[in-house]
Chain A
Amino acid sequence: MYLRIYVRGKSIISRCGCSGMGYYRVDLTGAAGGSCRSKPSARLVAVLLSLGEDDVLEVVGEEVVYPSRLVVSVLSNEGFEILERESDGLTYRILARKVGVGQG
């Protein structure tokens, strides 16, 4: 399993109709897990904590290992609103925007 984070330009932000400052992507798919000190879930949290209000996050993942319902819970707990959510039962894509302060 690996995780990639991209900071992209405004074109994608405008595409999702957001006025946010940044766009981030977290990839929870792949075949192999990370090392002890480099784990996808830990990096997800690190990204969540680094985002500011109106920043937009796209999460792409696999249902069997990172169930989208749980990922949505993680995002909600950190003050994100879900903008889009699509799943084919195996993989999913969630688009969320930071709107408030998380529980952490």
Chain B
Amino acid sequence: MKPGSSELREYFPAIGDGLVYLDNAASTLKPRQVVDAMSVFALERYANVHRGVYRLAAEATRAYDEAHSIVARFIGASPREVVFTSGTTSSIHLAVQLLLHNNIVSKGSRIIVPEDAHHSLLLPLARLARYTGSSLTIVPVNDEGLPEWHRLDEFLDADVSLVAVSHVSNVTGYESPVREIARKAKRYGALVLVDGAQGVPHIPVDVSDLGVDLLAFSGHKMLGPTGIGVLWIRGSLAEEWEPPYGGGGTVRDVSISGNRVEVEWEPSPLRFEAGTPPIIEAVGLSEAVRLLSRIGMESVAFYEARLTRVLFEELSSLEGVRIVGPADTRLRRGIVSFGVGSVDPDLIAVLLGQKGVAVRSGHHCAIPLHKRLGLVRGTVRASLYVYNNENDISIFIETLKSIINKL
């Protein structure tokens, strides 16, 4: 199946109804297969997992475990390394709690994080630093809004316990050189945490090749449902680390001896999935991954690169439009954010929306980056996915042009 083909677009009833959906960095549309799989599972095959011994529970458990395997294969991992959460934000928070509870980040150590980080990455790390008495080192962005990762050597030393990186910026679409960053961080024994929310859905990702330790991403940005995300934890760490949250399904044995509670944890991922997990959502996510795998992530990335170039070039030709991020479209992944003079980005998005073009506007949860770029009101963001085509871009550009002409 080809990206952008009518065969693929038919899976998404919303775009057959005059909608040009360019808000994919916020959340993607859902294909019929995902909705159908969740619906059938919820109505006919649902039970809690890893608990009941009746047939329905066993089958639900198998479906849930299979979802781990499908997602693991998708990123070149082992199922034991794949922890289901409620989304990227909760994945990053889980990662932060793991770093805290296992004394990876402690007083006197340093955390490196880029200035373009999404608040979901920046804020938990800032809190972690404050809580532990460690400090943040911010990798500044240049005038294009790209983190100056080439200066990483300046910031690295033996005190650095964590390097955090956004795989792909949700504002500029810039793909950070994660492999290179990880290689440098490892020289100093630092762990590497990747916010993969805008990376995994768009680029082939093989965690063994990236050389990182923690990777967070969401289901709803890759054709899957809301309410499920993934924290991939490198195997050796996953087996070694104590979970920050104890609860149902996380333990093999618990004993009380006097006033002391002894716990024997389950292996990963169970030890990290306290309580009833997102079971129906896992079924939906696995269906989404199946579809993406059928298309092929190499194909997805290649197709989006071409569309991104068209989108960027068309936008660049419009008078009064200021695009943020790299001018070299080879460094971008499906995202183009821009401003129109001094006009409120939300007002532009309202007008586009009234004509059936859905885009995001505002700060995209990256206020420091917008401040740095002097865009205090934020930007309008057009973001692509596998079902978009050049006609979508043409409609978007023509609509935007008609809005600008009114100024």
**Could you tell me which A residues sit within 8 Å of B by CB distance?**
1, 33, 36, 39-42, 44-45, 64-67, 69-71, 73-74, 77-78, 102-104
Interface core residue of A36, A39, A45, A104 (most chain B CB under 10 Å):
A39
B354 — nearest CB in chain A belongs to which residue? A77
A44: nearest residue on chain B (CB-CB)?
Answer: B350
Does any Cβ of A come within 8 Å of B37's Cβ?
A: no
Question: Provided the pairs A33-B376, A36-B365, A69-B406 are in contact, do residues A41 and B346 lie with their beta carbons within 8 angstroms?
Answer: yes
Which of B361, B362, B407 contacts A69 (CB under 8 A)?
B407
- Known A40-B346, A65-B377; judge A70-B363 contact (CB<8 A): no
Shortest CB-to-CB span from B380 to chain A, Å, is 11
Instruction: Among B342, B351, B365, B376, point to the contact of A74 (Cβ < 8 A).
Output: B351
Q: Is A65 within 8 A of B354, CB to CB?
A: no
In angstroms, Cα B351 to Cα A74, docked, is 6
Residues of B within 8 A of A45 (CB): 350, 353
Is B347 in contact with A33, judged by CB distance below 8 angstroms? no
Beyond known contacts A64-B342, A77-B355, A104-B353: 16 more, CB 8 A cutoff:
A33-B377, A36-B365, A41-B347, A41-B361, A42-B350, A45-B353, A66-B343, A66-B347, A70-B343, A70-B347, A70-B403, A71-B347, A73-B403, A77-B351, A102-B354, A103-B354
Q: How many residues of B contact A (CB 8 A)?
A: 22
Q: Give A5 to B407 CA distance when docked, in angstroms.
A: 26
Q: How far is the CB of B405 from chain A (nearest CB, A)?
A: 10
CB distance from B97 to the nearest CB of A (A): 24
B288 proximity list for chain A (CB < 8 A): none
Contact indicator B354/A67 (Cβ below 8 Å)? no
Say yes or no: is B200 at the interface (Cβ < 8 Å to chain A): no
Tell me the smallest distance from the CB of B348 to a CB of chain A, in Å. 8
CB atoms of B342 and A70 under 8 A apart: no
The distance in angstroms between the C-alpha atoms of A103 and B355, with both chains bound, is 8
Between-chain CB contacts (< 8 Å), 29 pairs:
A1-B344, A33-B376, A36-B363, A36-B365, A39-B362, A40-B344, A41-B344, A41-B349, A41-B350, A44-B350, A65-B342, A65-B343, A65-B377, A66-B343, A67-B343, A67-B407, A69-B406, A70-B347, A70-B351, A70-B406, A70-B407, A73-B351, A73-B403, A77-B354, A77-B355, A78-B354, A102-B354, A104-B353, A104-B354
8 Å CB interface, B350-407 against A: 350-351, 353-355, 361-363, 365, 376-378, 403, 406-407
Chain A-chain B contacts (Cβ-Cβ < 8 Å), number: 60
Q: B residues touching A (Cβ–Cβ < 8 Å)?
A: 342-344, 346-351, 353-355, 361-363, 365, 376-378, 403, 406-407
Instruction: Please report the C-alpha to C-alpha distance between residue A1 and residue B362 in the assembled complex, in whole angstroms.
Output: 13
Q: For A73, list chain B residues within 8 Å (CB).
A: 351, 403, 406
Question: Separation in Å of the A94 CB from the closest CB of chain B?
Answer: 14
Q: How far is the CB of A38 from chain B (nearest CB, A)?
A: 11
Of the candidates A39, A40, A42, A74, which one forms a contact with B354 in the assembled complex, judged by CB atoms under 8 Å apart? A74
Give, as a whole number of angstroms, the nearest-CB distance from B333 to chain A. Answer: 23
**Closest Cβ–Cβ distance, residue B406 to chain A (whole Å):** 5
Q: Which residues of B contact A74 (CB under 8 A)?
A: 347, 350-351, 354
The residues of B that contact A78 with a CB separation of less than 8 Å are: 354
Closest 8 pairs between A and B when the two form their complex, measured CB to CB: A41-B346, A77-B354, A69-B406, A41-B347, A39-B346, A65-B344, A64-B342, A41-B350
Complex Cα–Cα for A41 and B363 (A): 14
Nearest A residue (CB) for B364 = A36
- What is the CB-to-nearest-CB distance from B197 to chain A, in angstroms, rounded to a whole number? 16
Report the bound CA distance from A104 to B19 in whole Å. Answer: 11
A residues in contact with B376, CB < 8 Å: 33
- The answer to whether B346 touches A42, judged by C-beta atoms less than 8 angstroms apart, is yes
Chain B residues in 8 Å Cβ range of A70 = 343, 347-348, 351, 403, 406-407
Q: Which residues of A contact B344 (CB under 8 A)?
A: 1, 40-41, 65-66
Provide the residues of chain B in CB contact with A77, threshold 8 Å: 351, 354-355
Residue in B closest to A45 when the chains form the complex, CB atoms: B350
The interface residues of chain B lying within 8 Å CB-to-CB of A42 are 346, 350
* Closest-CB distance, A70 to chain B (whole angstroms): 6
Residues of A within 8 A of B361 (CB): 41
CA of A54 to CA of B347, assembled, Å = 24
Min CB gap A35→B, angstroms: 9
B351: chain A residues within 8 A (beta carbon): 70, 73-74, 77
CB B122 to nearest CB in A, in angstroms, measures: 14
CB-CB under 8 A from A33, the residues of chain B are 376-378
Chain A residue nearest to B349 (CB atoms) is: A41
Residues of A within 8 A of B362 (CB): 36, 39
CA distance A6 to B355 in the complex (A): 28
